[in-house]
Structures are given as C-alpha cells and as structure tokens.
Amino acid sequence: MAAMVVQLGLAMIPSGRWARAWGFTSATTSGTSGSLRQAEEKLALAQAAMQDEDFKQARLYAEQAELDARLAEAEHLTEKSQQQLAELTNAINRLRKQLGGLQ
C-alpha cells in the first residue's frame, strides 16, 4: 500500500509523500487544519477505491484531496501573512515610539 501511487491532476505522487509534495512539513502540519485532514482522508478513500479497482471514484476522491490540500496551503499562507503583518505593525509602532522620544 505504501508503494501505491495516486494520480493528482497530472502529477503522479507516491501516497507516502503527497504532503511533502505539496510543501507541507511537520512544522506546517502541526495544528493541522481541517482542510488538510480532509485531504488526507480523501486520499485514503482514493487509495481504497483504487484497490477495489473503482478507478472513477478513486479519481474523484484524488481530485477532491488535491483541492482540499490546495485550500489548506492557502489557509497556511494566509495565516503566515497575517503573522508577518502583525510583526511589521509592531516594528512600526516601536519605531514611532522611538521617534516620538527624539522630538
């Protein structure tokens, strides 16, 4: 089963490496989003459907898994951007205080 390959779009991705293929690491999957969990579940369903030789259903699940993984990636990038914005806002506020003290 670990050697099973699931087709996601045009890319053939071994099932054990799909999260890394999408750029998810242990750091990005800690506190895993619901979308990423759904992607993992649908990928498992796709693998089961492939073993049952229900290739049409397997493809549907694989496509859903891909979309869920893309959504999880977008959510992660949004969160990361919000954190960076908060850090920049804090830095700007510190600089304003320093400038205020100089005047």
Of residues 2 and 103, more confidence is placed in: 103
Q: What is the mean pLDDT of the chain?
A: 80
Q: What value does the mean pLDDT take over residues 35-44? A: 95
Cα separations in angstroms, 52 against 29, 65, 66, 86, 100: 30, 18, 21, 49, 70
Give the model's pLDDT for residue 17.
56
The answer to pTM > 0.75 is no
pLDDT at 26 over 70: no
